[in-house]
Amino acid sequence: MPLILQIMRQQSSGKSILKWAVLVLVIWLAGCSQPQAPEYYGFQNMQVSKSPDGQATLATTVKMYNPNHYSLQLKRAEVDVSLNGHHAGHSLLDTTIFIPQQDTFYVPIALQIDLRSLLSNALQMLIDKQTTISLDGRVKIRRGMFTFDRPFHYDGKQDLNSLLQ
């Protein structure tokens, strides 16, 4: 018999049982708190391949960090990518990825990008040698038996030389 039930049986008053039930409920609810959002660390291994219809496929790996004291599972991710304020593409990841506790993890992303939208920014990107990347989307994260659907947003500058290495 579980220890908590043995202690509850030994207590004869109804107030003691109520106190234990409230304590168990509080501990259980504390374990159900929403996880902190992962931290973005950058892109790695970017590759671009062109298709004949004016589209290009951009494949890269996003490096992130899980600040939580527990591991998670990424069940689904949907993200819109903008470069210098212009929509560059959309990506959908519908694969489960294990996210270790307080450690870095990698998420592969592949998205179709419109080369015309990139060309409108090409001169500015070449002059500045950097681009502003915006990521907007939603992720479905699982912790134990609980699933959380969370929006995320990231804006930051990225050095083009480091992207293309």
Convert the pLDDT of each residue in 24-50 to its tens digit. 655 655 556 677 878 878 778 878 787
Q: Residue 115 and residue 55: Cα distance in Å, rounded?
A: 6
Q: What pLDDT, on the 0 to 100 scale, is given for residue 42?
A: 79
Convert the pLDDT of each residue in 99-110 to its tens digit. 999 999 999 988
DSSP codes joined into one string, 99-150: E-TTSEEEEEEEEEEEHHHHHHHHHHHHHHSEEEEEEEEEEEEEETTEEEEE
Q: What pLDDT, on the 0 to 100 scale, is given for residue 163?
A: 55
Is the model's pLDDT at 61 over the cut of 80? yes
User: pTM, whole model, 2 decimals?
Assistant: 0.66
The sign of the dihedral angle between the CA atoms of 37, 38, 39, 40 is negative
In this structure, which amino acid lies at residue 123?
A: L
Q: What is the CATH number of domain 39-163?
A: 2.60.40
Indicate the domain borders of the chain. 1-30, 39-163
